[in-house]
Amino acid sequence: MITAGKTKVLSLSMAISLAFTGLANAGVTNKDIANDQMTTEDVVSYGLGLRGQRYSPLDKINIDTVKEMRPVWAFSLGGEKQRGQESQPLVKDGVMYISGSYSRVYAIDANTGDELWQYDARLPDGIMPCCDVINRGVALYDNLVIFGTLDAKLVALNKDTGKVVWKKKVEDYKAGYSITAAPIVVKGKIITGVSGGEFGIVGKVRAYDAKNGKLVWERPTVEGHMGYIWKKGKKLENGISGGKPGQTWPGDLWKSGGAAPWLGGTYDADVDLLFFGTGNPAPWNSHLRPGDNYFSASRLAINPDNGKIVWHFQTTPHDGWDYDGVNELIPFDYKEKGKTIKAAATADRNGFFYVLNRENGDFIRGFPFVDKISWASGLDKKGRPLFIDSNRPSDPSKAKDGKKGSTVVAAPSFLGGKNWMPMAYSKDTELFYVPSNEWQMDIWNEPTAYKKGAAYLGAGFTIKAINDDYIGVLKAIDPKTGKEVWRYKNYSPLWGGVLTTAGNLVFMGNPEGYLLGLDAKTGEVKYKFNTGSGIVGSPITWEMNGEQYLSVLSGWGGAVPLWGGDVAKRVKHLNQGGSVWTFKLPK
């Protein structure tokens, strides 16, 4: 029997069986993680490599053979906790590790789909997740499975038994903090951000020793807050997070400034930098906090050894629409005039696609990747938006009743041209595959004040579809030119990650429940299978016993049905679920 906070421990016979079948093998090393993108027998990092390109060199499943792909097992997460399964699986030595909603973790025999163990976190009643009770994945290091919880803890489990090895409180959940992202492991450090921007928390990135959970460094992501490193048990100042207190914030607003790095990060060994995005400044009502509000709605390059911010790029200064800048920044190289450009790309919630120099954060180019952007007319030569002032929600204090500002129609909606769902980059086609959404919102400002643990918005909104026949659009985008090469339209919003492979395929799931395989060059659908619930997870592929496998979590949920307004009506008939589907070609 499984109870909260405990695991179903392996029986002696199962443990012996695992030892002889090779499932209980050596732990994950720094080298394993660094080489993850090009090793095919496992997936040991979120994003199939620290760069997060979500590209696999496997090609046995390709545009010619994919039509024969079929499910070989399905695993149910069980219970009544069928809410928003946004996890990406990891696979090592024949064992799959996944997280589920409500901070659960499972180990599954990747050959058979049998459960090996399950861990359920003991969550308190007062957790305050903004956008569903989701978890996006675990990290593997040594003999540990490490993940974050909805009450803002990091938990390290023994990979063979699921028993707790160490547990650390990252922040106070009663103040609105939580963790929903998959942590990242770099140089033996487990690195995590936090969620909670809607509660006026202070965003932070923290690094811990992955083996024992000891804190190594802390980097606040709101200008004015002090960063620290820990050496030999001593806490040492490591500089404020770039700038003086209040420099781009009025008064004391920086003390509850949000800017949560809630999605997690990527890492590039070439420049030895972590890349984290930050969320909205708090509150949403921008008239309460004039200024650029560093380092909200930004991409940060962070030194992985000490947490210092090396450079930053702000996509939406003085954000007034909840255009979080958390979306993944993906390192990639391309040739221009015979020279290799060390670039990085991101598709922002604000509707613009950015290509940056990942060595110094310089703006290379930017362009819209959605059809409608109403809040800015474009970007200047440094990538700063050219605001359309009339599209900023007005100051409610100047309204006749002082309670509600004028309503504007803003596109994209605050759920973004692209939200958390990760895009993929193929080195074969040199294209990014971007899961995007075409929607807009009515938005207005309201008075608000900070109170610990309470919602801190100062805005109201209603999300609406722009087109009757589709919201979601998977787009193939050339980052060198800004050209859209092809698009695939979907009736419901897209909310799951993308995978691309050397088999000239792009895989994604949709809320209607289908796992889709598309031609990476043309967008033609080559494969379609209904999993029984909406897919908001991120697919992976790996090789086992000489065969290529593909897995994805199915289970509808996430922010869309919670925050979607009129759009939520479009998906209200979709059933929740909780399962992992695994596919391969027949022998």
* Residues that are catalytic: 322
User: Nearest 5°: phi and psi at 128?
Assistant: -130, 60
Six token digits for residue 77: 């997460």
Q: Is the dihedral of CA 31, 37, 41, 47 positive or negative?
A: positive
Residue 518's nearest CA partner among 546, 556, 555, 490 is 490
User: Residue 390: is it exposed, middle or buried by C-beta count within 10 angstroms (0-12/13-18/19+)?
Assistant: exposed
Radius of gyration of the chain (CA): 22
Helix (H, G, I), strand (E, B) or coil at 459: strand
Alpha carbons 298 and 129: distance in angstroms, whole number: 22
CA dihedral 374, 223, 155, 111 (to 10 degrees): 40
CB atoms within 10 A of CB 114: 12
Give the amino acid at 23. Answer: L
CB atoms within 10 A of CB 235: 11
User: Nearest 5°: phi and psi at 52?
Assistant: 75, 25
Six token digits for residue 235: 């806490």
CB within 8 Å of 258: residues ≥ 6 apart: 196, 197, 198, 200, 201, 202, 203, 222, 279, 280, 281, 282, 283, 296, 456
CA dihedral 73, 77, 82, 83 (to 10 degrees): -90
User: Nearest 5°: phi and psi at 253?
Assistant: -60, -25
Alpha carbons 56 and 366: distance in angstroms, whole number: 27
End-to-end CA distance of the chain: 37
Residue 580 CA, distance from chain mean position: 19
Residue written as token pair 């030892």 = 19
Alpha carbons 567 and 474: distance in angstroms, whole number: 18
